[in-house]
Structure 1
Amino acid sequence: LSAALVLNLWVGYFPTVQSAWSQLTSGPLPDQTDQATVTAMAASRIRPPHGTVVPVAIPSDGSHFKHRGELVYLPPEWFATTPPPALPTVMMIGGQFNTPADWTRAGNAVKTIDDFAAAHDGKAPVLVFVDSGGAFNNDTECVNGVRGNAADHLTKDVVPFMISTFGVSPHRSNWGVAGWSMGGTCAVDLTVMHPDLFSAFVDVAGDFFPNAGNKAQTIARLFGGNADAWAAFDPTTVISRHGPYRDVAGWFAISSDGPPPRRDLQLAESGAIRLAGRDAAANPGNQTAAAYSLCAIGRSNGIDCAVVPQPGKHDWPFADRVFAASLPWLAGELGTPGIPRSPLPAASAPGAGAPVVVPAEHSKR
């Protein structure tokens, strides 16, 4: 219990007592309904005033990854026609300690997307809240490795399921990924590894590469010592090997408050953060360097990106604010009906010729 309290204090996992109770008792999510009701509503062309959250059981035929139940948010526009319009989709990924519902509870994403839809005549992207870990303390970093084929689950199970079940657009120009902390790392990695599936990402304080410690520890813990497998999921290596990208864009969100204070690092070192085998001090406060470096590398290879500072620390309330700030850009970038495209915030975007600062951990063996 004490470790859980420390973890919550550090990452803002439960912003309110009510959200903690709902999570612990598996209380229903805001606007939650079952798939049969959604099907009946769609057949009757009943356009609800708010979006709907639907629990789903996604088969793992493509990955054989053991995962928990996942969630889908359908905006009011999805119910406008039968069959439903082929809307864009955003894959939502949480942090190292996660459940698929985290973005909806701690991250407030349902209210954010509902408010956005209400301001745009019910139009918004579909969201799918995925399970990247399979268990609360199984830190996969969204890779295929000794902890499971998480990457295959997200790309080979989730994407086809969403297209076949909810009729979302199959085109890569209409798919994006948004994630906080570990999920931010995943958002970049999935997009640069699979530009045939995804065209935009929002990285909220992610790391420089899939991180289960320093480089040597990560190779051992995630890939069983296989350095080539690590390189296949290292964004810098992937981008460099791929060469020029076309029509890929990303929003890197960082805290304008600077590195975490010593008090937060002490909380991290208390033991709660080591529940999943990560060294707490392996990459503390390095998300800013990671964002600027990855954006510079990306821009030199054709990826349109910006580093966007916002006040806050490395916690779920920060992720909540970033998602709200980036959603108009992301929805427009993915071609959401009725949502105009808007440029990335340009003030903090490093130029294509900006120097790339590689964190020391990237080269440590």
Structure 2
Amino acid sequence: MNVSLLGGWLPAMLDVVAVAALVVAVGWRDRQWRVRAVPMIVGGATFGTLIAAYPAARLLGVTDPLPFHVWLWFGAALAALIVLAAGWRSARWWRRGTAVVAIALTTLVFANQINQFVGYYPTISAAVNDWTHTPLPGQESMSGLAHDAGTAKLPPAGRLVAVNIPPAYSGFRHRQELVYLPPIWFRGRHRPTLPVVELIGGERGGPGDWVRLGNAVQTSDDYARRHHGYAPILVFADSIARFSNDTECVNGPRGNSADHLYQDIPQFIEHTFDASRNPAQWAVAGFSMGGTCALDLVVEHPSTFTHFVDISGDLAPNSGDPAQTLADLYGGNVAAEQANEPLLVMPAHGRYRGVSGLFLTSTAEPRHQHEAEELSQAAAKVDIWSQVEVFPGSHVWQFAGPAFATAYPWLVNQLAAVPAHREARSSKPA
């Protein structure tokens, strides 16, 4: 179950077996098959792949183009399907069965090629646990947490708690979310007031992605062990409500995601876990869509959040081309779209006080690098301190996790340095 899906012997074996099954399914057969059917299969698969690849970004909501080898396997799966249809009458039973196996195997390889591109399921176990909604390792309920709260002895690690946050302000029908409580939280009345980091994932996924794929709990536990149990509270937020509902963390036809993130969650965390109410001790970090959200939430709501870590985010919220974005995210409301574009929001707001952030991107993302530089320069004009850092890697969770771990000590230091002029929130706006 812990065999890698991202590399190693299993993906390589699947590639070989899938190709072998497809070759056997096509076969040598008779001259008419070789002269007429085989060229038709190749041509049909090629044409079908080109047709599928062209509108793929629009139909699937993929903003980054899929690599060639993904579409190569899509073509192989389509070829296997054509082989089965074209040769059904003339083929023997075992060749028909081989064609069915070839369809299944090439489709499986195609799906895993996409998985390798995004790095979503590193192992078979991770995929099965996600599909079966298995609780994350160490996850517990609020009722189980109450028993250990207030102990004088620091636990060796923090706890991951499943929470149901009421959408009191947003009405956003989100899924169950997760909260990481560092070891020092269990000191009860003797603990310090703890800062908070909201973590947001990509346009497809769930609140547990930063735990399963981004190793955020492990990163925080490692930090806490070196700092006498101290670390921020982490909130693994649900910004999309379901697996494929790209909200880009804005309010719109796909739900009031922004209201949930900057109103529902802080209100609940402050009251339930006695967290800091000071905006200077609240941050947002995210990867891909979540990176876009991190910057957007901070510059739009500096009275709630003050620090951000934007990992491979975009220039502004988007769900495709400009027309598609305007329709999908804002229902055609141009003013609403402009109110969520950082390059417009920052100069309109004017000078910020105490806001800081990091833009982290990979060497394989020149577009994100250029956009991060543009955003950082615009931020500097309104007194937002930021820095762009580029690390080896590509746009996958296997890059985002280590990137966050690199930024984590800096982020904790920012949250701990509370300026005197930042006052605590007394309550959340309705």
TM range (shorter): 0.7 to 0.9
Q: Which runs of 4+ in 1 moved over 4 A?
A: 1-4
- Which residue in the other structure is 2:144 paired with? 37
Equivalent residue of 1:73, what SS? strand
Is the Cα contact below 8 Å between 1:61 and 1:157 reproduced in 2?
Answer: yes
Aligned partners of 1:209 and 1:154: how far apart in 2?
A: 17
- Give, in angstroms, the shift of residue 336 of structure 1: 7.7
| Percent pairwise identity | 46
Matched, 1:57 2:164: yes
- 8 Å Cα contact 1:70/1:100 also seen in 2: yes
Partner of 1:258: 364
Instruction: Give the superposed CA RMSD.
Output: 1.6
**C-alpha displacement of 1:84:** 4.8
User: Can you list the C-alpha shifts for 1:189-245, whole angstroms capped at 9, x where unaligned?
Assistant: 000001111110000000000011122221111111111110011111110100111
Greater Cα offset, 142-151 or 103-112? 103-112
**Counterpart for residue 154 of structure 1:** 261
Structure with more helix by fraction: 2
Contact 2:298 2:304 in 1 (8 A): yes
Structure of larger gyration radius: 2
Could you say which residue in structure 2 is the equivalent of 1:310?
A: 391
* In 1: Cα distance, 2:272 partner to 2:412 partner: 21
The answer on whether the counterparts of 1:125 and 1:336 sit within 8 Å (CA) in structure 2 is no
Q: Which secondary structure does the structure 1 equivalent of 2:137 belong to?
A: coil
Counterpart mapping for 1:209-288 below 5 A: 209-255=316-362, 257-259=363-365, 286-288=367-369
Name the residue aligned to 2:189.
Answer: 82
Taking structure 1 as reference, are residues 258 and 241 closer, same or farther at Cα in structure 2, changes over 3 Å only?
A: same
1:4 is displaced (CA, Å) by: 4.6
Q: Provide the C-alpha distance between the structure 2 equivalents of 1:29 and 1:85, rounded to a whole number of angstroms.
A: 28
Shift in alpha-carbon separation, 1:196–1:147, aligned structure 2, 3 A: same
Q: Give the secondary structure class of the aligned counterpart of 1:185.
A: helix
TM-score (norm 2): 0.70
Distance 1:74 1:336, change over 3 A: farther
Number of residue-to-residue matches in the alignment: 311
**Cα shift at 1:14:** 1.4
Amino acid at match of 1:290: E
| TM-score scaled by length of structure 1 | 0.82
- Is 1:301 matched up with 2:382? yes
2:151–2:187 CA contact under 8 A, matched in 1: no
Supply the AA of the counterpart residue of 2:384. I
2:235 — aligned with what? 128
Secondary structure of the corresponding residue to residue 253 of structure 1: strand
Q: Displacement, 1:83?
A: 7.0
Query: Of the two structures, which has the highest relative contact order with CA contacts closer than 8 Å and spacing of 6 or more?
Result: 1
**Structure 1 range deviating more: 65-74 or 28-37:** 28-37
The question of whether the paired residues in 2 share the 8 Å contact of 1:254 and 1:309 is answered with: yes
Of 179, 193, 211, which residue of structure 2 is paired with 1:104?
211
Runs (5+) with no aligned partner, structure 1: 260-284, 338-365
The one of 289, 292, 296 aligned to 2:370: 289
Q: Is the 8 A contact 2:364 2:392 kept in 1?
A: no
Letter in 2 for 1:79: F
Counterpart of 1:39, as a letter, is A
CA distance in 1, matches of 2:325, 2:377: 24
Which residue in the other structure is 1:346 paired with? none
The 3-state SS of whatever aligns with 1:305 is strand
